[in-house]
Amino acid sequence: MIIKIINYFYFLLIILLSSCNQLDAKKKSIKIPQLNIISFDVVEKNLQIDKEIPPDVSYMLNKWFNEKVKINGIDGKISFKITDYNEKITTISDGKRIDISLKFSALIEKPTLSKKKFIDGEVKSYGAIEGSFSMSDFDEIIRKTQIDVILRLSRDLGSKI
């Protein structure tokens, strides 16, 4: 009886570990296209992402922020916040459409100059698929639209600094 329980435990452990590896592999397979580097004249940066944002999007946002948002100052801090992520799927004639939007804000503080700058905005993107398609085809459209929202976020933020 105990041997069966131990075997069952090992079986569950193997399944758990292999599913964790598959999730890590999925995250590593998410490719974000080349984005321009955005530089801020501060010494510290902070990113806050709402909990309602899907894990894949949160992962891509963190990757973008850590790799493409650079700091090169001697004073100050930027606090960047991502909020109000919205993903809407609608049925169109002979297909489906995905609309994605998110809001962002950035507060740049320079205490020695008693200076603050506030940047806010909203980015939107959509994708559609028509004809006969599989769920994996539609999932790919969703992922491409999520990536496009991050591209637009990067471009919009870069134009506002």
136: domain CATH number is 3.30.160.150
**Domain for residue 18, yes or no?**
no
Rounded CA-CA distance 107/55 in Å is 24
> Could you tell me if residue 104 is inside a domain?
yes
Domain count, the chain: 1
**5 in any annotated domain:** no
* Mean pLDDT, residues 93-107: 94
Tokens of 97: 């459409």
Residue 66's domain comprises: 31-160
Q: What is the pLDDT of residue 129?
A: 92
- pLDDT tens string 22-78: 444 444 455 666 677 888 889 999 999 998 899 999 999 999 999 999 999 889 999
- Across the range 87-96, mean pLDDT stands at 93
Query: Which strands form 44-49's sheet, in the order they lie side by side?
Result: 44-49, 77-92, 95-110, 115-130
pLDDT per residue over 13-22, tens digit each? 555 555 554 4
CB 152 within 8 A of CB 125: yes
**Whole-model pTM above 0.95?**
no
Is 6 part of a structural domain of the chain?
no
Percent of the chain clearing pLDDT 90 (strictly above): 57
Secondary element (H or E) of residue 14: helix 2-29
Does residue 26 fall inside a structural domain?
Answer: no
Average confidence score pLDDT of the chain: 84
Has residue 8 been placed in a domain? no
In a domain, 7, yes or no: no
Asked, for residue 70, whether it belongs to a domain, the answer is yes
